[in-house]
Amino acid sequence: MLLNILEFPDPRLRKVATPVAAVTPEIVKLIRDMAETMYAAPGIGLAATQVDVHKRIVVMDLSETKDELRVFINPELLAVEGRIETEEGCLSVPGYYDEVTRGERVRVRAQDERGEPFELEAEGLLAVCIQHELDHLMGKVFVDHLSPLKRARLAAKARKKQRLAG
């Protein structure tokens, strides 16, 4: 089932997600729907926050063949090293891309879709994507890393678009 993706500056994108206590059938269904929504968009990552479910769940697929789904339940960053500047975009900020500086390498601990804990070392785009999605779970959007002026302009533009649409 396709889920509705919230768009900046929707205040629900500011909610902080809570941990998943157990991987119930309901959580499994949510993960399936999140993956379907991400692939359909199309996007390379989606946090539950973006579909207005405020639980610590992220799905991601950076492969060109779109058959390497990664699921992170209750992800925690254990280490962040280096700095890398990448042009980022977000399904919640459609049509807008800008440079953001983040850690170049990360170590993350999470549970997979079966609830099994794992640790992952990532660098480059995967590391950037992990940090971007974990930001969502904390109620942050990538444009928060831009200047207040840029962000205000973007919010004004998005509000205008929403008014015209609805």
Residues forming the active site: 133
Q: Which residue is nearest to Ni ion (CB)?
A: 90
Q: Are 69 and 37 in contact (CB under 8 A)?
A: no
Candidates 16-24, 88-96, 119-127, 149-157; binding stretch for Ni ion (CB under 5 A): 88-96
- The dihedral region occupied by 90, where left means phi > 0, alpha psi between -120 and 50, and beta the remainder, is beta
Phi, psi for 74 (deg, rounded to 5): 50, 50
Q: Which is nearer to Ni ion, 23 or 145 (CB)?
A: 145
Candidates 56-64, 82-90, 108-116, 121-129; binding stretch for Ni ion (CB under 5 A): 82-90
What is the dihedral angle through the alpha carbons of 35, 39, 44, 48, rounded to the nearest 10 degrees? -30
The verdict on 130 binding Ni ion (CB under 5 A) reads no
Closest CA to 8 of 150, 142, 164, 165: 142
Q: Are 135 and 141 in contact (CB under 8 A)?
A: yes
Candidates 15-23, 30-38, 68-76, 83-91; binding stretch for Ni ion (CB under 5 A): 83-91
In which element (H, E) is residue 17 found? Answer: none
- Binder of Ni ion out of 90, 110, 134, 146 (CB under 5 A): 90
Binding mask 102-121 for Ni ion (x = CB under 5 A): --------------------
Q: Which residues bind Ni ion (CB under 5 A)?
A: 90
